[in-house]
Amino acid sequence: MLKNELYYFFAALGFYTRIPCPSWTKFSNEILNKSLKYFPAIGWLIGFIAAVSILLLQFIFPLSISILLSMILTVYITGAFHEDGFTDSCDGFGGGWTKEQVLTIMKDSRIGAYGTVGIILLLGLKFLALYEIGLISLPILIISYFNAHIASRFMAVLVIQNHDYVQDIDKSKSKPIAARKLSFGEMLYSGFFMLSASLLFYPHYLLFLAFPVIYFTQLYLGQFFKRRIGGYTGDALGATQQITEVIFYLTILALCRIIFV
């Protein structure tokens, strides 16, 4: 049982990041399907690396440079996996009118004007939100950075649970996870990673409000995807992760200004 869980975890690690996996790691459609429950756990790892990198870089660089270098590190570790989904979604939904047009544009590996402008604005907004939170409270910046990576990935899992996959599976980079929803027990297991990390906000309980805000954000995004193309795609999941991560930071920043300013 434990060995199987290790297979599932390392399969998720290999699928969602560039972090090297043990040579005995197995990859199959079945294993990758079952690895979905570890998506928020991957957020734990990425969030931990991101948070620790800021703390360490603070000894050498000012806050702004530390945040930017940390963002670059997370993009490198994940191979821009989710950012790529966001840019493809911007191009698809921005340039396509019909379902077929949207899906065709999403499959194009080239980035268009909508994707270029979208990712620049998204990363800029992410940087500025993190920087402003850091000016108010460095501990809250670290906790928020850590939690956002976990919670945003759980939001993508919720989209999978609540909507249908619509793209041709054979042509999709999300093929292993596209057709399977988690069981109730697996959802509890997946949600545990988010809830356990959120307890770090306890001294400032108002910051817990960031979680329902991104929950309703993913509800809106899910309905938007359903209305436009009938469900979600792998790129839509990447967009969900990126958008809810930024909304998380913006909510924390707004709450911090209420509490501390």
CB 243 within 8 A of CB 86: yes
**According to the model, what pLDDT value does residue 169 have?**
47
Calculate the average pLDDT of the chain: 90
Q: Which of 250, 13, 7, 12 is nearest to 130 (CA)?
A: 250
Residue with tokens 């919720």: 158
Q: What is the residue type of 207?
A: L
Residue with tokens 């770090």: 200
d(C-alpha 65, C-alpha 20), whole Å: 27
**Please, where are the H alpha helices in the chain?**
2-16, 29-34, 39-57, 63-78, 81-95, 99-107, 113-136, 138-162, 175-178, 184-198, 210-229, 234-260
Per mean pLDDT, which range of 82-96, 98-112, 136-150 is the poorest?
A: 98-112
Per mean pLDDT, which range of 18-27, 83-92, 116-125, 165-174 is the poorest?
A: 165-174
